[in-house]
Amino acid sequence: MAKSALKKKARITSKGQITVPHEVRRALGVRPGDKLLFEQDGAEFRVKPLRATSPFEKYRGIGNPGIPSGRKAIVRAVRQLRGR
Protein backbone atom coordinates (compact mmCIF):
# COMPACT_ATOMS: atom_id res chain seq x y z
CA MET A 1 0.00 0.00 0.00
CA ALA A 2 1.59 3.26 -1.12
CA LYS A 3 1.50 6.27 1.16
CA SER A 4 0.35 9.53 -0.34
CA ALA A 5 2.57 12.49 0.46
CA LEU A 6 0.71 15.17 2.38
CA LYS A 7 2.90 18.19 2.97
CA LYS A 8 1.62 21.27 4.73
CA LYS A 9 3.36 24.16 6.45
CA ALA A 10 2.48 25.76 9.76
CA ARG A 11 3.95 28.76 11.56
CA ILE A 12 4.85 28.76 15.25
CA THR A 13 3.62 31.81 17.18
CA SER A 14 5.65 33.67 19.80
CA LYS A 15 3.78 31.60 22.41
CA GLY A 16 4.90 28.31 20.78
CA GLN A 17 1.47 27.57 19.31
CA ILE A 18 0.69 26.27 15.83
CA THR A 19 -2.45 25.98 13.76
CA VAL A 20 -2.76 22.48 12.35
CA PRO A 21 -3.84 22.78 8.70
CA HIS A 22 -7.35 21.56 7.83
CA GLU A 23 -6.09 18.74 5.59
CA VAL A 24 -3.85 17.42 8.39
CA ARG A 25 -6.65 17.59 10.98
CA ARG A 26 -8.90 15.75 8.58
CA ALA A 27 -6.29 13.06 7.85
CA LEU A 28 -5.70 12.57 11.59
CA GLY A 29 -9.42 12.60 12.36
CA VAL A 30 -9.07 15.24 15.07
CA ARG A 31 -11.42 18.02 16.14
CA PRO A 32 -11.16 21.05 18.41
CA GLY A 33 -10.29 19.93 21.94
CA ASP A 34 -8.60 16.69 20.84
CA LYS A 35 -5.03 16.04 21.91
CA LEU A 36 -2.01 15.20 19.75
CA LEU A 37 1.04 13.14 20.65
CA PHE A 38 4.43 14.13 19.25
CA GLU A 39 6.90 11.20 19.09
CA GLN A 40 10.57 11.63 18.26
CA ASP A 41 12.35 8.97 16.21
CA GLY A 42 15.91 10.07 15.66
CA ALA A 43 15.77 13.38 13.78
CA GLU A 44 12.12 12.91 12.77
CA PHE A 45 8.87 13.48 14.63
CA ARG A 46 5.54 11.72 14.27
CA VAL A 47 2.21 13.28 15.18
CA LYS A 48 -0.57 10.97 16.36
CA PRO A 49 -4.00 11.67 17.77
CA LEU A 50 -4.47 10.68 21.42
CA ARG A 51 -7.74 8.84 21.83
CA ALA A 52 -9.07 8.23 25.32
CA THR A 53 -11.69 5.80 24.04
CA SER A 54 -12.22 3.82 20.90
CA PRO A 55 -13.85 5.77 18.06
CA PHE A 56 -16.36 2.89 17.95
CA GLU A 57 -17.29 3.18 21.65
CA LYS A 58 -20.37 5.29 20.83
CA TYR A 59 -21.77 2.34 18.83
CA ARG A 60 -21.35 -0.21 21.65
CA GLY A 61 -24.61 -2.00 22.43
CA ILE A 62 -26.75 -0.56 19.62
CA GLY A 63 -27.23 -4.04 18.16
CA ASN A 64 -28.75 -5.43 21.36
CA PRO A 65 -31.11 -2.88 22.92
CA GLY A 66 -32.25 -3.76 26.42
CA ILE A 67 -29.29 -6.09 27.03
CA PRO A 68 -26.44 -4.66 29.12
CA SER A 69 -22.94 -4.89 27.70
CA GLY A 70 -20.59 -7.60 28.84
CA ARG A 71 -20.24 -11.31 28.28
CA LYS A 72 -22.32 -12.41 31.30
CA ALA A 73 -25.29 -10.25 30.33
CA ILE A 74 -25.25 -11.54 26.75
CA VAL A 75 -25.00 -15.19 27.83
CA ARG A 76 -27.90 -14.63 30.26
CA ALA A 77 -30.02 -13.03 27.49
CA VAL A 78 -29.29 -15.89 25.05
CA ARG A 79 -30.22 -18.47 27.71
CA GLN A 80 -33.50 -16.66 28.31
CA LEU A 81 -34.23 -16.69 24.59
CA ARG A 82 -33.60 -20.45 24.51
CA GLY A 83 -35.83 -21.02 27.54
CA ARG A 84 -33.09 -22.22 29.90
37 and 50 in contact (C-beta within 8 Å)? yes
Mean pLDDT across the chain: 86
Domains defined along the chain, listed by start: 11-53 (2.10.260)
What does the pLDDT read at residue 83?
87
Q: What is the pLDDT of residue 82?
A: 92
Asked whether the whole model's pTM tops 0.75, one would answer no
pLDDT at res. 41: 93
Instruction: Output the pLDDT for position 3.
Output: 65
**Phi and psi (nearest 5°) for 44?**
-110, 155
- Which pLDDT value is given to residue 61? 66
Taking only the tens place, the pLDDT of each residue in 40-72 is 999 999 999 987 777 777 777 677 777 787 889
Q: What does the chain look like in DSSP terms, one character per residue?
A: -PPP---------TTS--PPPHHHHHHHT--TT-EEEEEEETTEEEEEEE-SS-TTGGGTTTTSTTS-SSHHHHHHHHHHHHT-
